[in-house]
Amino acid sequence: MPGKHQYFALLLKVINYFAFYIIWVGCLYAALHQLSFLFFLIVCAYLVLHLTFVSERSLAELFLIASIMLIGTANDILLTELHVVQYTDALPIGVSWWMLGIWACFGSTYWHAFSWLESRLTLSVLLGALVVPFCYLWGIEAKTVTFLRDESSALVLIGILWAIVLPITFIISHAIKRHAV
């Protein structure tokens, strides 16, 4: 029979998942209302709370979050440079504050809500190829992202890129966790 600690750990994973989802939707809303930087500050406050009250290895997880944010941002810059997508209220680097917030919060899910993916790299390839493109479609629907190519080729390019990158991020996550003190 599971103990209190196991229930609490599961509750934290559920909260982590819903916090990510709420922040994801909030970032889209902020982008629509030119509040991206303000919402990015809210994301930073959430991450401070997360690292303070949820994380067991705060410094290592902060490094993981920063790594995922950089990788996600690099992918989005690549997609803008390849003229696949364009973001509303983009910074000079091609992405927006709200995208930085999404990537940072996504990084906070690796050791919690999405920890089960760490040992399932094949599944992460499939999720990268099939699920991540739908996230971009939601951005299109919210009018925060524009495809600069036809929708089909943009989704295929995004899927190929993320089918490669998502499993790599879980390998990085595992390596950081293994070396964390």
Evaluate whether 162 touches 156 at the Cβ level (below 8 Å): no
pLDDT digits (tens, 9 = 90+) for 62-121: 999 999 999 999 999 999 999 999 998 899 999 999 999 999 999 999 999 999 888 999
Per-residue pLDDT band at 180 (split at 50, 70, 90) = confident
pLDDT digits (tens, 9 = 90+) for 135-168: 999 889 889 999 999 999 999 999 999 999 999 9
Q: Where are the domains of the chain?
A: 4-179
Q: What global pTM score does this model have?
A: 0.91
Distance (Å) of CA 44 to CA 58, 121, 150, 160: 14, 29, 35, 30
pLDDT recorded at residue 2: 64
Evaluate whether 68 touches 169 at the Cβ level (below 8 Å): yes
pLDDT digits (tens, 9 = 90+) for 18-76: 999 999 999 888 988 889 999 999 999 999 999 998 888 889 999 999 999 999 999 99
